[in-house]
Structure 1
């Protein structure tokens, strides 16, 4: 395998290094490596999926809306290319669902609902391909929670444009999906925080408290994880009042 110009590394070496960087939450460096792979091999499936995911993860932290939209747009482009290569694969469908969900958060009301509505089919396909995909279960839980708690205007628009898709979503389904995500990846504090938020909405105090205690007990190191741990502690204090 030929070395990629400028790096001295071949594709497999770059992918391995990028994976290590991603695992250590050095997202910008990892994304740069995946994009270096894509410059030489535009149809590298692994790099497309990972680059899409990283654009979403980096974009979520950015406060400037224009920059955030740019990251999410690239995430959607990479996900679409990956999906065109392997439309039945779990990772491509997960990437599409994540990119749609991210884009929804910076879109107008109609586009937001359209993107959220489209997410469901990609999540179903991802889980059909890999029923143990923790990330897909997590996004599905978020999807159920969002659709179960639409405001009046959103619910009316959903019924008008999509036939009332919110009718099949409940907080109970959201909680079950998040529980499944935790089952397959018990080390992700985001899953616990989101599940506790659902329990809080459902007023199930004991389950909320237990979930928050489990979250706080996790070994966390990154800035994002530490911030979630802080939020969990605050929510736990509030639940005990």
Structure 2
């Protein structure tokens, strides 16, 4: 997940002045410094510390678009690390709240739509069956909007791929519920769609091991052994792995590759 926003820190900071115009009161000189500090912390993979700084900015400038997008992203990211349902719910709820506020400020921008989609996916993981399907259904429109604004947004392509994969592999009860609630939205979603979308994510960010791992899972579901092995092999050529999440994904890729080569 770390590199879903790999280009986001640099790009958003460089264009800080442009985004600042979204807020009524602008970004003060002090908030400029805080933004720079938060970017440095995030770039050093100190997510929790960066989140504290972004939320401090929002205490002083509640409509700071950059801080809202980043705070939402970090809450979604941190939520996935918890096994405790209460903690997961707390972070998921905050991710959605910040995303809603960012979207209200700039509903056509790629990042506001991206964090909306990300927060909905995060929320789906901690919801009941009906709420989960509702969140997954809502997610698609935000992903589409993000890609309409930025066709090279790797994170949005990755979420789209995961959406296709989920919808293509609903169980019988989920398919029935989806048909009743949304008119059978899963009808056009296939594993091939999922693979194609995640491949696009890799094109735009070839150093994110999460993309390779998820793509390998899709190919495994498709029974495409050759593509699965090729994807895992590429994943294991990545050497710039610095977080616990990335190292764990690399370990899983090694295990999966060994299993595929021995079958």
* Interval containing the TM-score (normalised by the shorter chain): over 0.9
Matched residue SS, 1:61: coil
Q: 1:227 aligns with which of 248, 254, 258?
A: 248
- 1:92 match: 112
Shift of 1:44: 0.2
| Aligned equivalent of 2:179 | 159
C-alpha RMSD of matched pairs (Å) = 0.7
**Structure 2 residue 64 is the aligned partner of structure 1 residue 20:** no
What CA deviation, in whole Å up to 9, does each residue of 1:77-125 have, x standing for no partner?
A: 0000000000000000000000001000110000000000000000000
Structure with greater contact order relative to length (CA < 8 Å, sep ≥ 6): 2
Q: Following the alignment from structure 1 to structure 2, what is the Cα–Cα distance between the partners of residues 143 and 87?
A: 21
Return the offset for 1:223.
0.4
- TM-score, structure 1 normalization: 0.96
1:105 to 113, 121, 125: 125
Shift of 1:14: 1.1
Deviation for aligned residue 1:16: 1.4
Structure 2: 5+ residue stretches without partners: 1-28
- Per the TM alignment, residue 182 of structure 1 is displaced from its structure 2 partner at its CA by 0.3
Unaligned 5+ segments in structure 1 are 1-8
Q: Distance in 1 between matches of 2:152 and 2:40?
A: 22
Q: Secondary structure at the match of 1:221?
A: coil
1:10 pairs with 24, 30, 36, which one? 30
Any idea what SS the aligned residue of 1:10 has? helix
Measured in 1, the distance between the counterparts of 2:237 and 2:36 equals: 30
**TM-superposed deviation, 1:221:** 1.5
